[in-house]
């Protein structure tokens, strides 16, 4: 949830850490702070608000080692006091995660001491100061042995060169430079700074100095972690003339679809082998990833005629799921670090299921536990709301379903081949300003569809409420008359997605029910008869004709643009919606 950045070397640590935090701000932006080792003294600045609030405070922070943090609050409200870093004695620490036993640790070791913050993290700094005997790594290992929960920790000590990191649950990436080294929560922070990276395992502790990196396991035995090329590039972080990352990333949907469909050929045989003998499939994820799973359920059942379920990962992992060796679990996560999804995947593995990871992150916790990894080649996604990664997920899940049904990768790729151009056509030409104005003025907006369109309705609703804060829900269109119709009046907007000809007539009847009750209606369709029927009576958005099963790739782009434009009308920040962070690494 929070972003961590660390640097040690001959450069200006404060500036390097500050720039890294700016690139990590999608992970949290309610407060930020930086500590720098200046000689034998640690200097710290931290403020409520975004990373930019620190910009004018760094002038006197001269030193070659620093750590920083951009926060998404879990314990303690956003404030200067609760912002990281937290200091105690000769230590300064930043922490991502949740320490579940922090209150017990405070009661046991510091019952008579005052704490300066309401966070669970400050106890880490105080424990380090209590146990330090001249060896930073041994003190950190002892403290980590007491912690229960998830954590990525960066620690700086005034009596030690460089800094140390430790992880369990939350992610830490080490960056290898020339006479300088880095650590960060996520790869974008390291774009352009280093050519090679390594991902730490749970329980690892690493000591970074300008001259090298030493990695230890939880028993302080030296270990080697694979060093791989850094896939993040500065170009990933450029806006390329776009006013916001969200719009830039919507415009990158075509490339995400194209790269994902092409890369699938390299993993098709592994997917096929993993799926041998499978008689039931569970797709699990959270938020947008779960919504892509709703589409995947229909693909798998329709193409392969195998029972499939879409499960919210946070529910699945606690429901004592029925799993057999013939069950396949497809775990979907943009970051590959989503706590509930990773825990669900690990639970499924422990119960004997085959696990297939669908993720946009090649070096993640999810990829390390899965039997097979199907890459989503969406590239770096900075906006909190998922756009191009959703399109990549739908593409990858469609390919998996076709493999399960016995189709060749070539035939599947050929079916998808026209869609990048179709999506590009929408991103550059679709005019939905009037519909955005209707949604911005509405008391509530409802997204409705049938079959595969219902899966898209759920995602459209999520996009609108997370970016614009307009109350919204997604419903099966057939359920309208079973309760939802009570919500409809002149203050509401109902957005219907109609791309399936077989159910178009029934969906059109639902539109009529809304109009007859003075509700405002919009219809997103590629069915000519439907478009003609509602012209002049509803707001009609015509999208290109396409393969019905892959229509979510097209219709979802319209809904992403709708959320974006509604947010702008309401003066919301589409890249950084309130209370949300990109990578949810805690429960």
Which of 3.40.50.12280, 3.40.50.10490, 3.40.50.300, 3.40.605.10 would CATH assign to domain 430-574?
A: 3.40.50.10490
410-461 tens-digit pLDDT? 888 899 999 999 999 998 877 899 999 999 999 999 999 999 999 999 999 9
For the stretch 123-137, pLDDT in tens is 999 999 999 999 999
User: Which helix (H) or strand (E) is 475 found in, with range?
Assistant: strand 472-476
Tens of pLDDT, residues 305-346: 999 999 999 999 888 899 999 999 999 999 888 889 999 999
- Respond yes or no: is residue 194 known to be catalytic: no
- State how far the Cα of 416 lies from the Cα of 393, in Å rounded to an integer: 13
Element of type H or E holding 193: none
> Which residue among 167, 297, 463, 582 is the active-site one?
582
Report the CATH fold assignment for 238-417. Rossmann fold (3.40.50)
pTM recorded for the entire structure: 0.89
pLDDT per residue as tens digits for the range 116-166: 888 889 999 999 999 999 999 999 999 999 999 889 999 999 999 999 999
pLDDT at position 583: 65
Kindly list the domain boundaries of the chain, sorted by start residue.
3-235, 238-417, 430-574
Question: What's residue 376's pLDDT?
Answer: 96
546 belongs to the catalytic site: no
Please check the confidence at residue 481 and state whether its pLDDT lies above 70.
yes
**DSSP sequence for 32-79:** EEEEEEETTEEEEEEEES-GGGGGGG-TT---SEEEEEEE--SSS-SS
Quick check: do 238-417 and 430-574 share a fold? yes
Is pLDDT at 78 greater than 90 in this prediction?
A: no
Give the residue ranges of DSSP H helices in 442-550. 452-468, 501-516, 528-534
Q: Where are the alpha helices (DSSP H) in 360-418?
A: 365-369, 388-404, 409-416
Average pLDDT over residues 72-84: 86
DSSP 181: E
**327-333 and 280-285 strand pairing:** parallel
All residues at 6 or more sequence positions from 239 whose CB lies less than 8 Å from its CB, including other chains: 245, 248
Model confidence pLDDT, tens digit, residues 550-580: 999 999 999 999 999 999 999 999 999 988 8
pLDDT of residue 500: 84
Catalytic residue, chosen from 2, 194, 383, 507, is 2
Q: Which two tokens stand for residue 587?
A: 């429960």
Half-sphere exposure of 305 (CA within 13 A, CB side): 1
408/142 Cα distance (integer angstroms): 53
Answer yes or no: are the C-beta atoms of 352 and 373 closer than 8 Å: no
Give the residue from 109, 106, 168, 164 showing the smallest Cα distance to 135. Answer: 164
Nearest to 394 by CA among 488, 271, 257: 257
Dist CA 463 CA 472 (whole Å): 9
Residues linked to residue 63 through DSSP beta bridges, in sequence order:
none
Per-residue pLDDT band at 587 (split at 50, 70, 90): low
Residue 398 pLDDT class (50, 70, 90 cuts):
very high
CA-CA distance, 353 to 331, in Å (whole number)? 12
The superfamily CATH assigns to domain 3-235 is Aminohydrolase, N-terminal nucleophile (Ntn) domain (3.60.20.10)
pLDDT, residue 65, reads 96
Tokens coding 398: 């469609």
Question: Do 448 and 460 form a contact (C-beta atoms < 8 A)?
Answer: no
Report the alpha-carbon distance of residue 509 to residue 31 in Å, rounded.
49
Tokens, residue 180: 């300088």
pLDDT at residue 586 tops 80 = no
In the block, tokens 């972080």 appear at 237
């Amino acid at each position: 949830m929070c972003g961590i950045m660390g640097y040690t070397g001959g450069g200006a640590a404060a500036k390097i850490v500050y720039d890294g935090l700016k690139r990590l701000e999608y992970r949290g932006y309610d407060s930020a702070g930086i500590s720098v080792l200046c000689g034998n003294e640690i200097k710290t600045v931290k403020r409520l608000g975004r990373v930019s609030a620190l910009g004018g405070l760094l002038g006197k922070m001269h030193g070659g080692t620093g750590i920083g943090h951009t926060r998404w609050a879990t314990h303690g409200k956003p404030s200067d006091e609760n912002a990281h870093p937290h200091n105690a004695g000769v230590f300064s620490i930043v922490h991502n995660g949740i320490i579940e036993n922090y209150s017990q640790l405070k009661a046991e070791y510091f019952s008579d001491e005052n704490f300066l913050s309401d966070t669970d993290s400050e106890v880490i700094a105080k424990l380090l100061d209590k146990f330090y005997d001249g060896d930073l790594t041994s003190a950190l290992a002892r403290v980590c042995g007491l912690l229960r929960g998830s954590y990525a920790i960066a620690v700086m000590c005034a009596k030690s060169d460089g800094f140390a990191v430790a992880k369990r649950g939350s992610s830490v990436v080490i960056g290898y430079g020339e006479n300088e080294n880095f650590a960060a929560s996520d790869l974008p922070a390291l774009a352009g700074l280093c050519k090679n990276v390594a991902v730490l395992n749970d329980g690892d502790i690493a000591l970074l100095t300008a001259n090298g990196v030493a990695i230890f396991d939880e028993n302080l035995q030296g270990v080697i972690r694979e060093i791989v090329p850094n896939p993040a590039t500065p170009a990933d972080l450029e806006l390329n003339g776009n006013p916001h990352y969200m719009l830039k990333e919507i415009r990158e949907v075509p490339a995400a679809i194209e790269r994902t469909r092409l890369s699938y050929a390299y993993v098709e045989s592994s997917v096929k082998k993993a799926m041998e003998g499978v008689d039931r499939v569970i797709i699990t994820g959270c938020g947008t990833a779960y919504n892509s799973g709703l589409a995947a359920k229909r693909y798998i059942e329709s193409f392969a005629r195998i029972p499939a379920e879409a499960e919210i990962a946070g529910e699945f992992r606690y429901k004592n799921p029925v799993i057999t060796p013939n069950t396949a679990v497809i775990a979907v996560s943009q970051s590959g670090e989503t706590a509930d999804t990773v825990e669900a995947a690990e639970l499924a593995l422990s119960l004997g299921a085959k696990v297939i990871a669908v993720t946009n992150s090649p070096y993640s916790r999810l990829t390390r536990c899965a039997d097979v990894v199907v890459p989503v080649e969406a590239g770096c996604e900075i906006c909190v709301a998922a756009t191009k990664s959703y399109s990549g997920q739908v593409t990858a899940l469609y390919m998996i379903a076709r493999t399960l049904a016995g189709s060749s990768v070539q035939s599947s790729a050929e079916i998808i081949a026209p869609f990048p151009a179709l999506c590009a056509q929408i991103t550059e030409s679709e005019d939905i300003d009037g519909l955005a104005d209707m949604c911005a003025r509405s008391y509530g907006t409802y997204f409705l569809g049938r079959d595969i369109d219902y899966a898209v309705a759920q995602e459209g609703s999520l996009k609108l409420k997370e970016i614009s804060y307009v109350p919204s829900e997604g419903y099966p269109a057939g359920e309208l008359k079973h309760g939802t119709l009570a919500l409809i009046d002149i203050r509401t907007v109902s957005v219907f997605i109609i791309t399936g000809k077989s159910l178009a007539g029934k969906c059109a009847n639902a539109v009529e029910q809304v109009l007859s009750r003075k509700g405002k209606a919009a219809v997103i369709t590629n069915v000519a008869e439907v478009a003609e029927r509602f012209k002049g009576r509803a707001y009609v958005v015509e999208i290109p004709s396409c393969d019905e099963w892959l229509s979510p790739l097209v219709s979802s782009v319209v809904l992403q643009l709708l959320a974006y434009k509604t947010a702008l009308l309401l003066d919301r920040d589409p890249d950084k919606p309130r209370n949300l962070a990109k990578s949810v690494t805690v429960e």
